[in-house]
Amino acid sequence: MNIKHQKTKEVLDLFERISAIPRCSKHEEKIGAFLLEWAEKNGLQAKKDKVGNVVIRVKASPGYERSGAVVIQGHMDMVCEKTADSPHDFAKDPIRFVYDGEWLKADQTTLGADNGIALALAMVMALDKSLAHPPLELLFTVDEETGLTGANALSGDFIEGKILLNVDSEDEGVFTVGCAGGRDTRISLSVHYEDAPDGFVMARVKAGAMTGGHSGVNIHEERANAIRVLVRVLQQLRREHDIRLADISGGTAHNAIPRDAWADIFVHRDSFKTIEKIVADTEAVFRREFKKTDPNMKISAELQLETMGKRPLNTADSGRILDLLIALPHGVAAMSTEMKGLVETSNNEASVRIANSKLEIVTSQRSSVMSRLHALTWRIEALARLAGADAVSGNGYPSWQPNLQSPLLARCKEVYRKLSGKDAHVEAIHAGLECGIIGDKKEGMDMISFGPTLKNPHSPDEKIHVESIGKVWDFMVELLKSLK
């Protein structure tokens, strides 16, 4: 690809180096070590806290020594999603870049531009001696994607700056000034097995090849949730045949809409042909239902010649699990009455599996109104209890309430208008950002979030618009220059 913007080339070169380092959520040790080594090599002060967050300090350019420090912030970890047929091993394989016209994506995996591109932008900026800027603190947090753990563990004195530039938004020309809060709930139910009745065989029902996506960014688009689709198929089969659930699995991350799910069921061998037809008919129904969002959806039933040592659950547990999974909410629960078009409250039925004789379900709730976040969480907990399951919800993270009178926002709008000749769009988002947590820890922090244009994060269709990287670079350069 012919990249004209010189700094875009430098940023992408560094991003490719970053993408060769394993950095799935909760496994940021190697990327953290790389950042510290990089800082030492380039003569920059750096430190790591007890959970692995890293801050790298960059001295002010001449004339800016008396200016307050500016924090440029992103997170080290990425959502590790891949297609069902990808052999990629996130623990050791580098992300393979694929250029597609104006876009950069990965080969059958998430790209990790969410949020590796923030690291690359900040690091290239730190080494550019031609730039005019105040003292900089490059703050790179861990485990943002699975609960904002790094930001939650951040001590108030780890950074000094009172201006925060969060480079984790996904539309160039858009300034984010607010976000939803969130909580996760983990549901656990002990299950019991019995011998299969005479004449019963095992079949695997699959629901896959769905679009998936970010459970905050894409939740309002009514994309299919593979777990929901699978359970609806199983409920249809259950209405017409004696089926016994043996195993079920779907979803990989709390903040990703599940793309693939499967269940092993025991059925009478004489009914399998009928079950195959029901599944095929149901697939046709779903493909019409989701033709705009999930055109590649596939649903199938395959007879398993070997049971792999599996036994069916007893009838009561089998029915209880399917009832609970169909009863749990998924999708938009309420739209904002304050900002038109903004999702206020939602839930993602994120993952399900059976392990060690226990059903484990994870749901992820979001809301910009904390009282409604708690109410939705209580509803999910109540449904779990009614099914005889245990439910434990995390403390979650706070929403970030917009401040439309922010001096930083005014400065950003002015700089953007000067560079582009047009007004930036200002919005709040339904996804979670670390700004709300960091702002709670640093009183008086003025914050804004922006970034290059990114599509389909948290899915193998993730891609970044290459030209937008240079535009964000130019904006950051002028913004820092103006903060004297």
Catalytic residues: 77, 144
Q: Hunting for tokens 């900089």 — which residue is that?
A: 136
The closest of 11, 252, 8, 211 to 124, measured between CA atoms, is: 11
Strand ranges across the sheet with 97-100 = 97-100, 103-106, 463-465, 454-455
The type of residue at 376 is: L
Q: Which pairing describes strands 454-455 and 463-465: parallel, antiparallel, or unpaired? A: antiparallel
Sign of torsion over alpha carbons 425, 426, 431, 433: positive
Alpha carbon distance 481, 483 (integer Å): 6
The closest of 408, 393, 324, 318 to 363, measured between CA atoms, is: 393
Torsion angle defined by CA atoms of residues 218, 219, 224 and 227, in that order, rounded to the nearest 10 degrees: 120
Asked if 136 and 48 touch (Cβ cutoff 8 Å), the reply is no
Cβ burial of 114 (10 Å; 0-12, 13-18, 19+) is: buried
Asked if 105 and 171 touch (Cβ cutoff 8 Å), the reply is no
Characterize 120-134 residue by residue with b for buried, 16 or more Cβ atoms within 10 angstroms of its Cβ, and e for exposed.
bbbbbbbeeeeebbb
Alpha carbon distance 203, 304 (integer Å): 5
105 contacts: CB under 8 Å, gap ≥ 6: 97, 98, 111, 461, 462, 463, 464
Q: What angle do CA 265, 266, 270 make, to 5 degrees?
A: 125
Torsion angle defined by CA atoms of residues 45, 164, 412 and 169, in that order, rounded to the nearest 10 degrees: 100
